[in-house]
Amino acid sequence: MKLLGAIEAGGTKFVCAVSDADLTIKDRVTIRTTTPKETMALVFDFFDQYELAAIGIGTFGPIDINKESETYGYITTTPKVAWAHFDFVGIMKERYAVPIGWTTDVNAAALGEVTKGAAQGKQSCVYLTVGTGIGGGAVVDGKPLEGYGHPEMGHILVRSHPEDDFSGLCPYHDYCLEGMAAGPSIEKRHGVKAIELAGDKKVWEIEAYYLAQALMSYTLTLSPEQIVIGGGVMKQKQLFPLVREAFKKLLADYVAVPPLEEYIVAPGLGDDAGITGSLLLAKEAV
């Protein structure tokens, strides 16, 4: 029986899996993200064991999704230097003569959540991951949101908190969401690991202020039925009520949204949102 293959390619690790047509995972492996040569050798070792019908790839970006482009299927201007301008789809097609679904890791996660997770039954959602970096994807009418390129929701500009003199860590933009609110930014601002700050309410109020600004922007531009927020930083459970409170204050009842406890939520699939969405990409590619 031919299986569906999937790769959730993250900056820290790759998750590879194979499933049947019902998305029941038959095998999976986690591989450290080092260099393309090292990481892809282990990816091939895993998939070479199976007869595949298709492969879905959800990867860190930016990536080229324009099928008319000479660099379609590439990771492009990523700050992960070893992976910049890497022909991901091309290398996979050289190895496996099967259809390949291709999008960002966060678009894949959004697809997973709207199909089998917290947003199941809805036609639209935004998925935001807040961890080592910040990225966002969206599903609209059941399909990942793509245009000339793909969303880069982690790099929208935000206003500085009145009590924050930090300008961010992003090498491209001062005062962008990722530079101000990703895990390394929290640590740089306060001089200690974020996990050591769990009891400091002011730290998380500042974090919530930045995240709420972003959620307000997504709400006003995309009007999703639900916003799902995952990633390591969001495992600080005190953040969700603070984000909802800040969002309510910023939005000021300008537009209608669902009850906030139902609108701004944690992933229903936990850490499996991305690999589930990547398997769905493979299924659609078939």
Task: State yes or no: pLDDT of 185 exceeds 90.
Answer: yes
Q: Does domain 3-105+271-285 have CATH number 3.30.1300.10?
A: no
Q: Which residue has the tokens 């095998």?
A: 27
Cα(6)–Cα(149) distance, integer angstroms: 22
3-state secondary structure of 105: helix
Give the predicted TM-score (pTM) of the model.
Answer: 0.93
Cα(15)–Cα(40) distance, integer angstroms: 12
DSSP 223-285: --S-EEEESGGGGSTTHHHHHHHHHHHHHTTSS----HHHHEE--SSGGGHHHHHHHHHHHHH
Q: Is 213 exposed, middle or buried (0-12, 13-18, 19+ CB in 10 A)?
A: buried
Q: Do domains 3-105+271-285 and 118-266 have the same CATH topology?
A: yes
Task: State yes or no: pLDDT of 1 exceeds 90.
Answer: no
3-state secondary structure of 193: coil
Task: State yes or no: pLDDT of 213 exceeds 90.
Answer: yes
For 110-169, what is each residue's pLDDT tens digit? Answer: 999 999 999 999 999 999 999 989 999 999 998 999 888 899 999 999 999 999 999 999
What percent of the chain has a predicted confidence (pLDDT) above 90?
91
CB-based contact 28:16 (threshold 8 Å): yes
Task: State yes or no: pLDDT of 267 exceeds 90.
Answer: yes
Per-residue confidence (pLDDT) for residue 129, from 0 to 100: 96
For 16-47, what is each residue's pLDDT tens digit? Answer: 999 999 999 999 999 999 999 999 999 999 99
Per-residue confidence (pLDDT) for residue 79, from 0 to 100: 79
pLDDT confidence band for 269 (50 / 70 / 90): very high
Please, what sign has the CA dihedral across residues 131, 136, 142, 143?
A: negative
Helix (H) or strand (E) holding 116: helix 105-116
Q: What percent helix, strand, coil does the chain show, rounded to 5? A: 40, 20, 40
For 49-98, what is each residue's pLDDT tens digit? Answer: 999 999 999 999 899 999 999 999 999 988 788 999 999 999 999 999 99
Cα(54)–Cα(209) distance, integer angstroms: 42
Q: Does domain 118-266 have CATH number 3.30.420.40?
A: yes
Per-domain residue ranges for the chain?
A: 3-105+271-285, 118-266
- Rounded to an integer, the average pLDDT of 3-7 is 98
Per-residue confidence (pLDDT) for residue 195, from 0 to 100: 83
